[in-house]
Chains A and B, each alone.
Chain A
Amino acid sequence: MYDREKQSLVSLITMVLILGSYSLYVYHKYIAGNVDIINDFKFWGKAYLILIPVSIAAQIIIHIIFFTINKIVTNEGAPAITDERDKLIELKAIRIAHWTFIAGFILSMGSLAMGVQPWVMLIALIYSGFIAAIASETAKIYFYWKGF
């Protein structure tokens, strides 16, 4: 497995871990025992805004730890250069993420149109962003693995 594949795989695992643990944390700390809070948009706004810096910080820390361990084990550092093929793969992955998010956005609007509770739309929006990021990293791993 090459550096870029490893990097994408680490991002993928990190994203799942961060959102999974954060969702559990928010659920147990705020939602369990106080179900009415899910209709409070201010709560969702705060929860999402906190998730962004937490996610960025955790990604940076995990990447540093991973590449340090990787350097010790394989004597290979983080990818030093980003060449034209990397950029092309990045663009393709962004396109996939874009369309995945658009699909999630349409689904969330559809849920509103069908008269589902507004918090479902918010959850759908947040998770469609997350699924789009997963789709992007998965696409990168696939393109690197395929040899494109």
Chain B
Amino acid sequence: MSKCSISNNIRKFRFLADEMTQQQLADKTGVTRQTIMAIENGKYSPTLELAFRIAGVFQTQLEEVFSFDDKIQRGKK
């Protein structure tokens, strides 16, 4: 799968959350650390439910954590 058009600031939010580890975030959202790692590296787009859960852990809005780059999506077509 090529790099997805959804980018995220999870790394930044983990840093701001007292350097929360990927494992801690994974435990709080009910997924594996590998999934968090794949999302963070832009290799996997989470479902809406997981995206909301991640935003919920950081107590912020979804758009603050995830953003959609429409140009990349159009470039694929």
Residues of chain A whose beta carbon lies under 8 Å from any beta carbon of chain B: 2, 4, 79, 81, 83-86, 144, 146-148
Rounded to whole Å, the gap between the CB of A13 and the closest CB of chain B is 21
Compute how far the CA of A24 lies from the CA of B38 in the bound complex, rounded to whole angstroms. 42
Residues of B within 8 A of A (CB): 1, 30-32, 34-35, 37-38, 41, 43-44, 46-47, 50
Q: Looking at the assembled complex, report how far the CB atom of B23 sits from the nearest CB atom of chain A, in whole angstroms.
A: 12
Q: Are B32 and A147 in contact (CB under 8 A)?
A: no
Query: Given A84-B50, A147-B41, A148-B44: A2 and B31 within 8 A (CB)?
Result: no
On whether A85 and B1 interact (CB within 8 A), knowing A147-B41, A147-B44, A148-B44, the answer reads: no
CB distance from B21 to the nearest CB of A (A): 16
Residues of chain B within 8 A of A4, CB atoms compared: 32, 34
Closest to A82 in B: B32
Taking CB atoms, residues of chain A closer than 8 Å to B41 are 147
Residues of A within 8 A of B1 (CB): 146, 148
Is the beta-carbon distance between A147 and B43 smaller than 8 angstroms? yes
